[in-house]
Amino acid sequence: MHKLLEQLVSQMVEKGIHYDDALREFDRRFIVAVMDKTDGNLSKAADTLGVHRNTLSRKIKELKIKTRPSGS
């Protein structure tokens, strides 16, 4: 895992991707993956991520992530 991440970071640096853009993309993909894993359950996703539910809600809104109703 460490080596893959190192390679990805190197590629991003070579391509001139800005730090803020890299963080935003990582946050978005990580949150979407956890939301999928928890079937859209915000409370379970927040627990999995180790953040408060309100923090996750704010981040979802900030990143304009489309959510689906829990259990769908």
Domains of the chain: 18-72 (1.10.10.60)
DSSP 8-state symbol, 64: T
CA–CA gap between residue 15 and residue 36 (Å, rounded): 29
Burial class (CB in 10 A: 0-12, 13-18, 19+), 56: buried
pLDDT of residue 67: 82
65 pLDDT higher than 80: yes
Please answer whether residues 51 and 38 qualify as being in contact, where contact means their C-beta atoms are separated by less than 8 angstroms.
no
Q: How do residues 10-62 score in pLDDT, each as one tens digit? A: 999 999 999 999 999 999 999 999 999 999 999 999 999 999 999 999 999 99
- Predicted TM-score (pTM) of the model is 0.83
